[in-house]
Amino acid sequence: MTHDDIKQQLIWAGKVLVGEGQDDFTRGHISFRLPDNPSLFFMKPHSVGLDEITMENILTIDLEGNVVAGTSRRHSEVYIHSEIFKARPDVNCVLHTHPPYSIALSATGRAMRAYSQPGALFFESVGVYTDTINLIRTTGMGAGVAKALASNRAVLLKNHGVVVVGASVAETVVGVIMLENAAQVQLLTEAAGDPAPEFPRADIEKLKHDISRPEQFQINFDYLVRRAKRRA
């Protein structure tokens, strides 16, 4: 993928995320590690919505959180991205949003359960960051998020939002949508009272494997992009 290809994916990712209700004014940000220089990453700028990302306003940032290319304003929570990229060489894309059901689940202190197929994707793969409700504005706080994420696919920032990671833009964007769906189903299930037992571990793990293949994420992301184009 060329740099322009990556930027174009980030642009469509932003439009898809807004279409799926993942926006919160101009808050929320997505980044992608440069394949030819893993010490740098592209990132959405401050002061624009996720659906307002352009080729011109995307920033290039280093692993210390410094802007090395671009003139837009940098998000103060850049350290979520830089510290995760430092800690997770397997991660190419980092996404932070404020989806309401996921935030509500984080506020309960309860672990995510496999009460749905999207829940199975996150079976034993969600960390929880509980240090603060505040913005992640220092390297130390970013390192705390990365530590809470550990080797997981996502981390809930208690009473604040979520961070989802992946090897691709498609995996990360589809992942955050599935996480929010899983949180919604879980809250509805628990509100109804007395949930039935989950399926056996082996059954959940088999589904988790089946729905986490790269081509599955890409197929679904491509569909969401086509839908966003039809809405444009």
Q: Where are the beta strands (DSSP E) in 46-116?
A: 59-62, 67-69, 93-97
Q: What is the pLDDT of residues 104-152, one digit of tens each?
A: 999 999 999 999 999 999 999 999 999 999 999 999 999 999 999 999 9
Residue of 39, 38, 30, 40 lying closest to 9 (CA atoms): 30
User: Rounded CA gap, 36 and 231, in Å?
Assistant: 34
Q: Which residues are catalytic?
A: 77
Least confident of 48-52, 146-150, 228-232: 228-232
Q: Where are the domains of the chain?
A: 3-217
User: Rounded CA gap, 226 and 232, in Å?
Assistant: 10
One CATH from 3.40.1160.10, 3.40.1280.30, 3.40.50.300, 3.40.225.10 for 3-217: 3.40.225.10
| pTM for the whole structure | 0.98
Hey, which residues does 57 pair with through a beta bridge? none
Amino acid at 176: V
Percent of the chain predicted with pLDDT > 70 = 100
**What pLDDT shows up at residue 232?**
82
Q: Say yes or no to pLDDT of 190 above 90.
A: yes
